[in-house]
Amino acid sequence: MRTKTLKKNKINVITLGCSKNVYDSEVLMGQLKANGKEVVHEEEGNIVVINTCGFINNAKEESVNTILDFMQKKEAGEVDKVFVTGCLSERYKPDLQKEIPNVDAYFGTTELPGLLKALGADYKHELIGERLTTTPKNYAYLKIAEGCDRPCSFCAIPLMRGKHKSTPIEALVIEAEKLAANGVKELILIAQDLTYYGLDIYKKRNLAELLENLVKVEGIEWIRLHYAFPTGFPLDVLDVMNREPKVCNYLDIPLQHISDNILKSMRRGTTKEKTTKLIGQFREAVPNMTIRTTLIVGYPGETEENFQELKQWVQDMRFERLGCFTYSHEENTHAFNLEDDVPQEVKTDRANQIMEIQSQISWELNQQKVGQELKVVIDRKEGNYFVGRTEFDSPDVDNEVRIDATKTYLKTAEFVTVKITEAEDFDLYGEVI
C-alpha cells in the first residue's frame, strides 16, 4: 500500500480580490515553479494557498468563507494543508489565528519569502518578471508600484499594503519583455496610485517616461492605465497617449464623489471645480479618450442634496465607463470615527440610481459606434460567440464585442477589424472585415 508521504504535492493557489492580488499570485506561482514545485491556479491540489482580499465587507466575507470551506475539506481529508496570505491576513492576522486556528499558517502581503519557506521553496531574487500568468494569454497585469501614501479617509489599503514604493523603469521593461516573449500583447498597468509613480525613486512623477520605455517593447500592442489619482495627475502622460498608438486612449481614475464637503471629509485633496476642470483637460488633450471612474455612495454624512448633486454631475459628465460602490465602514480608517449614518437600503438604492443613469449613457454612446470599424482583440469563445474588446475596454469590467462564431473562425489573442452592427447597454455586436 502506498503511504501518504510518497504522494507528490500539488499546490493550488486561490486568488480573491483585485488585479494586484492576481499579480501577487502569479509571482508566487512563478517562484514555486522555479523551485520545481507542481503548482496550479484554482484547480485540484492537496496543498492550498488562499490569497485573500480585505478591502471592504463583501470581500472580507468572501475571503473568510473561502478559508472556512477549505478548513472543512482539510478536516474531511480532501486537502492536507491550507495556508492563508494577502490583505485580509495582513490586516487581521491575530483575529484569524484566534478564530480559525487550524489554518497551517498565516502570512501578510510582504511575507512571500516566509510563505515560500513554509511550502518548501526558496525565494529566488534573480526571477525579475518571472511569473505564471493566470489571465488569458493575450493580456497581463504589470504592477508598477506597491502601497499608497494618500490619506483617503475611507480606505484601508495603506494598512495592508504600506507606503508607496515604485518599481524602477529598468525592472519593469525586463518584465514587459518577458511577458511579450510569452505571447502577451496587452499590458495593463496597475498600482494603488499610478499618478504617484516615480516620486519616491526619481523625485518626480515619472509615468510618462515609463510609458515611453514600455512602448519600445516588441510584441506589445496595447498599454492600458488603471487606477490614477486625480490630485497631481501628470499631464505629460496625455501627450504620450496622443503620440504613441500603443498607449490606449483609456484611463481608469476613481473619483469617488463630487460634493465638496464629502470630498473634504474623504480627504481627497480636491474639489468639484478642480475635478471637473481635470476631466475637461483630459478630453481636450485626447478627444477620443475613454474615462472609467468609480464612485462611492452612502459615505457618512452624505445628504440627499449631496447625492442629487452627484447624480446631476454623472449626467453632465457622461463618463464612458462607471462603477458605483456602497460605502463600507472600515475599522482603523479615518472615516471609522464618523457615524455610519446612511442606512444600507438607502446606500443600495443610491448606487442603483447612479448605475441606471450610467446604463442609459452607455447605451447612447454605444449607439454612436454602430457602423464604425474598430480594432478588437479576441479574449475567448463563449457559446456561439467570439468575445473581444476594443482599446476602450478593460477585461472583466467594461464593454465587450461579440462576433458570431458560426460565421467566422477567430483565434484567441488575435487582433481583427470589426464593423459594429448592433449595440446594447454594455455590449457591441459586429462582423469581421
Q: Which amino acid is at 164?
A: H
Any idea of the CA torsion for 361, 363, 364, 366, to the nearest 10 degrees? 120
Which residue has cell 490586516?
91
CA-atom Rg of the chain in angstroms: 22
- pTM of the entire predicted model: 0.88
pLDDT of residue 37: 93
- Angle between helices 272-285 and 236-243 in degrees, nearest 10: 30
Beta strands 165-166 and 290-297: pairing type?
unpaired
One digit per residue, the tens of pLDDT, for the chain of length 433 reads 334 444 689 999 999 988 989 999 999 999 999 999 999 999 999 999 999 998 888 888 999 999 999 999 999 999 999 999 999 999 899 999 999 999 999 999 889 999 999 999 988 877 766 788 889 889 999 999 999 988 899 998 888 888 999 999 999 999 999 999 999 999 999 999 999 999 999 999 999 999 999 999 999 999 999 999 999 999 999 999 999 999 999 999 999 999 999 999 999 999 999 999 999 999 999 999 999 999 999 999 999 999 999 999 999 999 999 999 999 999 889 999 999 999 999 999 999 999 999 999 999 999 999 999 999 999 999 999 999 999 999 998 999 999 999 999 999 999 999 999 999 999 999 999 9
The sign of the torsion formed by the CA atoms of 195, 196, 198, 204 equals positive
Q: Which H or E element spans position 198? A: none
pLDDT of residue 319: 98
Q: Which amino acid is at 167?
A: T
Beginning with the edge strand found earlier in the chain, give each strand of the sheet holding 290-297 in spatial order.
Answer: 139-143, 186-190, 222-225, 247-252, 290-297, 321-326
Q: Which amino acid is at 189?
A: L
Contact 12, 42 (CB under 8 A): yes
SS3 content of the chain, % helix, strand, coil (to 5): 35, 25, 40
Contact 387, 378 (CB under 8 A): yes
| Partners of residue 296 on adjacent β-strands | 325
Could you give the CA distance from residue 186 to residue 191 in angstroms, rounded to a whole number? 16
Contact 428, 365 (CB under 8 A): no
Contact 327, 286 (CB under 8 A): no
Contact 399, 389 (CB under 8 A): yes
Chain-centroid distance of CA 133 in Å reads 15
Could you give the CA distance from residue 122 to residue 85 in angstroms, rounded to a whole number? 17
